Amino acid sequence: MILRPYPRTHSLLQSYDYLGAKCRIVTIFSMIADGTSALNVQNMPLMAESVVADLMLLGQENKDPVKILINSPGGSVAAGLLIINAIEHLQAEGIDVETVVISQSLSMATPILTTGTKGKRYAFHRSVIHGHRGHGGADGSVDDIMGQIKYTEYLFDQLHEILAKKTKIPEYHLSHGDTPMPEILETLQRLEKSENKDDKTRYLKLRMKYAKEFFNKENFLTAKQAQEAGIIDEVLEPGNPYLNEIFKLSEVKQ
């Protein structure tokens, strides 16, 4: 939560509360959940909604970049997409959203990470970036189960489209998978250059297919590997000037 402390009392607040106000930082340091999540919702009420409110508040203040620091085990896909909606809104308003993994970006945290503004997605050098096959469950009548399955497939299609459009995961998978497929990689490169509408549709579908295939098993990437896969743009080694820039204090413009 972003707080606006008085100078004499800010020391009573947690450090990241203060940094949220003075450095335009929003943190994702827990399980990703929203008010509809059944998973541990009593301990994390409105987590995603609070992140959205923080992003919108900072977006209203001025057009300076907003930074999201991530150290999360992942969580609800729907809650993660809620946060992604807010990030994309700020970007549409001309506000850069810088995403920074400070330790771990697991499961649903990774699509949030990669939704950051291109060129401004970072990870500390010892970070771990992870993705895996989506999980879900369904119960009730056959019709109920089929409806839940369709909804779950819709959510995961959203994730695969984000990863297909914003990363190089398909290329990374086709080059580094258990069975490298250079011929498919060449097909992607050809379709990318085509101006034909059908080719563009096929291009996106192929990218989504191989992004999904890459995450059919547990994948733990180092920061360097994540950079190669286009999930992040830069690895922050100790001494990188941007590490100081993250926490640079700025006056709130009223």
Q: Is pLDDT of 196 > 70? A: yes
Of residues 107, 127, 160, 173, which has the active-site annotation? Answer: 107
Range scoring the smallest mean pLDDT among 48-57, 122-131, 136-145, 149-158:
136-145
Q: Taking the chain, what is the end-to-end CA distance rounded to the nearest angstrom?
A: 19
pLDDT for res 12: 44
pLDDT for res 34: 87
DSSP lists the bridge partners of residue 105 as 72, 129
CATH class of 1-132+218-254: alpha beta
Indicate the domain borders of the chain.
1-132+218-254, 137-215
Instruction: Residue 102: name the closest of 168, 190, 19 by CA.
Output: 19
In the structure, what pLDDT confidence band is assigned to residue 48 with cuts at 50, 70 and 90? very high
Q: Is 37 a catalytic residue?
A: no
* Per-residue pLDDT tens over the stretch 214-245: 888 889 999 999 999 999 999 999 999 999 98
pLDDT for res 15: 77
**The residue count for the chain:** 254
Mean pLDDT of 162-191: 90
Mean pLDDT of 96-105: 97
Token pair for 40: 């541990």
Mean pLDDT of 62-72: 95
Instruction: Residue 172: name the closest of 141, 144, 200, 211 by CA.
Output: 211
Q: How far is CA 196 from the centre of its chain?
A: 31
Global pTM? Answer: 0.85
pLDDT for res 153: 79
pLDDT for res 9: 47
- The amino acid at 122: Y
Mean per-residue pLDDT of the chain: 86
Annotate 161-195 with DSSP letters as a single string: HHHHHH--HHHHHHHHSSS--HHHHHHHHHHHH--
**Which residues neighbour 12 within 8 Å (Cβ) at sequence distance 6 or greater?**
5
**Which residues neighbour 235 within 8 Å (Cβ) at sequence distance 6 or greater?**
122, 123, 124, 125, 223, 224, 227
- DSSP SS3 for 201: helix
Question: Which runs of E-coded beta strand occur in the chain?
Answer: 25-28, 66-72, 97-105, 121-124, 128-131, 219-222, 234-236
27 vs 49: CA distance, rounded Å: 13
Question: Which runs of E-coded beta strand occur in 8-105?
Answer: 25-28, 66-72, 97-105
pLDDT for res 8: 47
Radius of gyration of the chain (CA): 19
In the structure, what pLDDT confidence band is assigned to residue 129 with cuts at 50, 70 and 90? very high
**Which residues neighbour 31 within 8 Å (Cβ) at sequence distance 6 or greater?**
39, 40, 44, 47, 72, 73, 74, 75
228 vs 251: CA distance, rounded Å: 36
Q: Is 173 a catalytic residue?
A: no
